Each structure stands twice: as structure tokens, then as C-alpha cells.
């Protein structure tokens, strides 16, 4: 009986060692970096300035391209919003077009943002009273 228990224990340990030795590390689908933290900072209106955030995000994007890593959903959209807040409408449009290309399911939302940027600003001049 003792011999059987010992053989079972050895077999279980050997199986565990073999199964973990063959395991491969699964790479993440997207390179998130500090993207979620930057989004949170924008919502709280704290942390790094929009200029610094744009620089950090562009640095992360460049690093991702160098390592063949995919940027996560919303990354380019967020970058576009930051660029628009800094007055860079063309940079925002470019980022939103890139988001559409990377994630076709975002097309409707990106088109709406693009349309709003292209729309002429509504006049804030009060209407004259005809009386």
C-alpha cells in the first residue's frame, strides 16, 4: 500500500512538472501601458497636463509600433480628444481616422466626432428682437 501511494505521488509530481514546463506565456492582445491611468487623470482633471499626456501617449504609440504591439481600443480616440482640447483639430481628425481604421466598430462614433469638428461653430450672437 505504501509503495502505491509513493508511486502515485511521484506520478502526480512528474505530471505537474511536465505540464508546467510546456506552458507558453500568452502575450497580451494590446499594449495598454499607462493608457488607463491617463484616461482616469483626464476625468479627474488631475495629473499631467494635456500636453504632457499627448507626449506620453505618442511615446507609447511609437514604442508599440517598434515592438509590433497593437494599441488598445479607444487609445487613438482619446489621443484625438486631447489634441482637440489643445486646439489641434487636424491632429484630432487624424487620430480619429486611425481609430476607425483599427476598430471598424467605432466608425459611427468617430464619424460623429469628425462631423462635429468639421461643422461650423454655431453663432453665439443673440437673435435680434423683431419688435
Residue 71 lies in a domain: yes
State residue 99's pLDDT score. Answer: 96
**What sign does the dihedral 53-59-62-66 (CA atoms) show?**
negative
Give me the half-sphere count of Cα atoms (radius 13 Å) on the Cβ side of residue 50: 14
Residue 125 lies in a domain: no
- Where b means 16+ CB within 10 Å and e means fewer, 19-55 reads eeeeeeeeeeeebebebeebeebbeeeeeeebeebbe
State residue 50's pLDDT score. Answer: 86
Residue 41 lies in a domain: yes
**pTM, entire model:** 0.69
Classified as helix, coil or strand, 90 is: helix
Overall number of domains in the chain: 1
For residue 53, what is its C-alpha cell?
A: 499626456
pLDDT tens, N- to C-terminus, the chain (131 residues): 566 776 777 676 667 666 665 667 777 778 888 888 888 887 787 777 889 889 989 988 888 777 667 899 999 999 999 999 999 999 999 999 999 999 999 999 999 999 999 876 544 445 555 55
Residue 85 lies in a domain: yes
Residue 107: domain span: 35-117
Residue 94 lies in a domain: yes
State residue 115's pLDDT score. Answer: 95
Residue 69 lies in a domain: yes
Residue 5 lies in a domain: no
Amino acid at each position: 500500500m505504501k509503495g502505491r501511494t509513493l508511486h502515485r505521488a511521484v506520478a502526480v509530481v512528474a505530471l505537474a512538472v511536465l505540464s508546467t514546463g510546456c506552458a507558453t506565456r500568452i502575450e497580451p492582445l494590446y499594449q495598454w501601458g499607462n493608457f488607463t491611468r491617463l484616461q482616469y487623470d483626464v476625468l479627474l482633471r488631475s495629473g499631467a497636463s494635456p500636453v504632457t499626456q499627448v507626449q506620453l501617449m505618442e511615446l507609447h504609440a511609437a514604442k508599440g509600433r517598434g515592438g509590433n504591439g497593437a494599441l488598445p481600443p479607444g487609445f487613438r480616440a482619446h489621443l484625438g480628444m486631447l489634441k482637440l482640447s489643445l486646439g489641434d483639430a487636424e491632429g484630432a481628425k487624424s487620430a480619429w481616422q486611425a481609430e476607425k481604421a483599427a476598430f471598424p466598430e467605432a466608425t459611427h462614433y468617430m464619424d460623429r466626432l469628425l462631423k462635429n469638428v468639421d461643422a461650423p461653430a454655431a453663432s453665439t450672437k443673440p437673435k435680434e428682437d423683431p419688435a
